[in-house]
């Protein structure tokens, strides 16, 4: 059976489509569009292949799923059951991760804003590392760790030097002196790791290399001042698994390894924080054409409120009602928000015939769509989780109302 969007869990079957082992036509008998669907087996496979490739090249590698990519509790539970850790930015995520059963020792927490409550809960639960984006936060963490009589391990997020990036610490001479001074005074923190996250959707090996160069320059600058770290964290940024085939991921991981070896960097462990790679291609929308306008513009019953541009997904569109027809006619797709800005894709290759009611599958929407979704006053779609032949509703807008974490 032919794969759709390069995804082994979305396959053409005669005139129908199999999502794992459930027929799309069966889903449409039970639900109206729009529907959001997640494929559990794809999430599991993505984790297994990501780990396999990194562990082939690095003896000591640790993996932390970046919750912000998609924090639906059911998905985070699946990810937890695969044994990897969690990378979190907020208190609601920390509540969720601990509730689901991620052990504190496999959780790393950090971001540009660390509230006292977030630091306190992190310290009390012995989370593995707090990630600091601003040197002044070290003082705050130290005093909370002191209060609870703990030594908190710290990771420094350095500025990746990506064009215009404002996130993270620039480890120039002035800041390194300040860091050294703080580390000398703050006895309840221990610097263990540095992190550089470059950007998302990194398809080009040169981007990974730039990231490694930033890390290396910082490690060397620190070493000149006798500040040493144990671990390096390269962040995330990997595209959807069906967009980056295993062979390409392998090539990139191999290059990361050889860059680090050539640069003669000493480190104990490499940490990686994938988000999109794990959940991106495990999510899809089923939506329908609600209107057809001139110049082959079609309107779908989703829009940027649930499928936002900010999510930077590699969107793929298939007309499932005419799945055997060639998709080679330029078509533009718009959403339902009443503004001309709500464009999902321009000049996308689609079927020649366009009919109101045709069901369109939108692939690769598992990462960041819900995170960046907004409060435009439309009802959210139901969310289904499919595994083998089983289908479970994990979000019902009529009952659950909102996907936010509290």
Ligand X SMILES: Cc1ncc(COP(=O)(O)O)c(C=O)c1O
Answer for which of 121, 197, 316, 387 binds ligand X (CB under 6 A) is 197
Q: What is the signed CA dihedral for 262, 264, 270, 275, rounded to 10 degrees?
A: -40
CA distances from 27 to 30, 286, 330, 359, 398 (A): 5, 10, 28, 12, 18
Nearer to ligand X, 51 or 296 (CB): 51
Binding part of the chain for ligand X, among 25-33, 234-242, 247-255, 382-390 by CB under 6 A, reads 234-242
Residue 301's SS3 state is: coil
Residues in the chain: 406
Asked whether position 235 contacts ligand X by CB under 6 A, the answer is: yes
Nearer to ligand X, 87 or 342 (CB): 87
Total residues at interface with ligand X (CB under 6 A): 15
* Torsion-angle region of 403 (φ positive above 0: left; ψ -120 to 50: alpha; else: beta): alpha
Phi, psi of 133 (to 5 degrees): -100, -10
Answer for which of 34, 274, 335, 366 binds ligand X (CB under 6 A) is 274
Q: What is the separation of C-alpha 20 from the centre of its chain, rounded to a whole number of angstroms?
A: 22
Least distance to ligand X from the beta carbon of 367, Å?
6
Rounded CA-CA distance 358/319 in Å is 7
Nearer to ligand X, 243 or 298 (CB): 243
Answer for which of 273, 281, 301, 358 binds ligand X (CB under 6 A) is 273
Least distance to ligand X from the beta carbon of 341, Å?
23
The DSSP H or E segment spanning 86 is strand 85-88
Answer for which of 7, 33, 46, 66 binds ligand X (CB under 6 A) is 66
Asked whether position 198 contacts ligand X by CB under 6 A, the answer is: no
DSSP code of residue 164: T
Question: Residues near 142 by Cβ (< 8 Å), separated by ≥ 6?
Answer: 152, 186, 187, 188, 189
Residue 48's SS3 state is: helix
Nearer to ligand X, 27 or 158 (CB): 158
Asked whether position 238 contacts ligand X by CB under 6 A, the answer is: yes
Strands (E), 296-399: 297-300, 316-319, 329-334, 343-350, 359-363, 383-387, 390-395
Binding part of the chain for ligand X, among 27-35, 230-238, 297-305, 352-360 by CB under 6 A, reads 230-238
DSSP code of residue 90: S
Interacting residues with ligand X between 313 and 372 (CB under 6 A):
367
Residue 233's SS3 state is: strand
Nearer to ligand X, 200 or 322 (CB): 200
Residue 111's SS3 state is: strand
Asked whether position 109 contacts ligand X by CB under 6 A, the answer is: no
Asked whether position 121 contacts ligand X by CB under 6 A, the answer is: no
Q: What is the signed CA dihedral for 194, 199, 201, 202, rounded to 10 degrees?
A: -70
Asked whether position 158 contacts ligand X by CB under 6 A, the answer is: no
Answer for which of 69, 75, 302, 380 binds ligand X (CB under 6 A) is 69
Answer for which of 276, 288, 305, 387 binds ligand X (CB under 6 A) is 276
Nearer to ligand X, 137 or 273 (CB): 273
Nearer to ligand X, 106 or 276 (CB): 276
8 A C-beta contact, residue 28 and residue 34: no
Nearer to ligand X, 273 or 342 (CB): 273
Binding part of the chain for ligand X, among 215-223, 270-278, 342-350, 354-362 by CB under 6 A, reads 270-278
Least distance to ligand X from the beta carbon of 116, Å?
21
Contacting residues toward ligand X, per CB under 6 A: 66, 69, 87, 197, 200, 235-238, 273-277, 367
């Amino acid at each position: 059976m032919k794969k759709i969007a390069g995804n082994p869990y979305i396959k053409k079957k005669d005139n129908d489509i199999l999502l794992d082992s459930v027929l799309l036509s069966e889903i449409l008998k039970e639900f109206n569009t729009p529907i959001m669907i997640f494929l559990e087996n794809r999430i599991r496979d993505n984790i297994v292949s990501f780990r396999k490739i990194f562990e082939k090249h690095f003896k000591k590698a640790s993996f932390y799923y970046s919750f912000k990519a998609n924090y639906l509790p059911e998905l985070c539970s699946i990810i937890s059951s695969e044994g990897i850790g969690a990378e979190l930015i907020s208190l609601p995520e920390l509540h969720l991760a601990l509730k689901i059963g991620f052990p504190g020792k496999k959780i790393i927490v950090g971001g540009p804003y660390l509230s006292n409550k977030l630091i306190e809960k992190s310290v009390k639960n012995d989370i593995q590392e707090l990630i600091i984006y601003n040197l002044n936060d070290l003082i705050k963490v130290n005093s909370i760790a002191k209060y609870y009589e703990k030594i908190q391990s710290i990771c420094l997020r350095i500025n990746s030097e990506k064009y215009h990036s404002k996130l993270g610490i620039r480890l120039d001479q002035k800041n390194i002196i300040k860091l050294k001074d703080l580390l000398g005074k703050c006895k309840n923190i221990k610097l263990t790791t540095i992190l550089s996250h470059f950007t998302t959707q990194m398809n080009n090996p040169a981007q990974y290399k730039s990231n490694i160069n930033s890390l290396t320059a910082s490690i060397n600058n620190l070493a000149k001042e006798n500040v040493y770290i144990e671990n390096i964290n390269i962040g995330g940024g990997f595209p959807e698994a069906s967009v980056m085939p295993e062979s390409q991921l392998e090539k990139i991981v191999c290059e990361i390894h050889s860059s680090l070896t050539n640069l003669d960097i000493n480190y104990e462990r490499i940490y990686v924080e994938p988000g999109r790679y794990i959940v991106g291609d495990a999510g899809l929308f089923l939506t329908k054409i609600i209107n057809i306008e001139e110049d082959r513009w079609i309107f779908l019953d989703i829009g940027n409120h649930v499928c936002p541009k900010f999510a930077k997904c590699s969107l793929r569109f298939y007309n499932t009602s005419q799945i055997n027809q060639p998709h080679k006619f330029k078509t533009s797709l718009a959403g339902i928000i009443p503004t001309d800005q709500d464009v999902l894709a321009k000049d996308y290759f689609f079927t020649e015939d366009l009919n109101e009611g045709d069901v369109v599958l939108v692939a690769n929407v598992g990462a960041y769509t819900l995170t960046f979704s907004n409060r435009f006053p439309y009802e959210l779609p139901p969310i289904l989780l499919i595994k083998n032949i089983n289908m479970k509703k994990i979000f019902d807008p009529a009952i659950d109302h909102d996907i936010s974490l509290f």
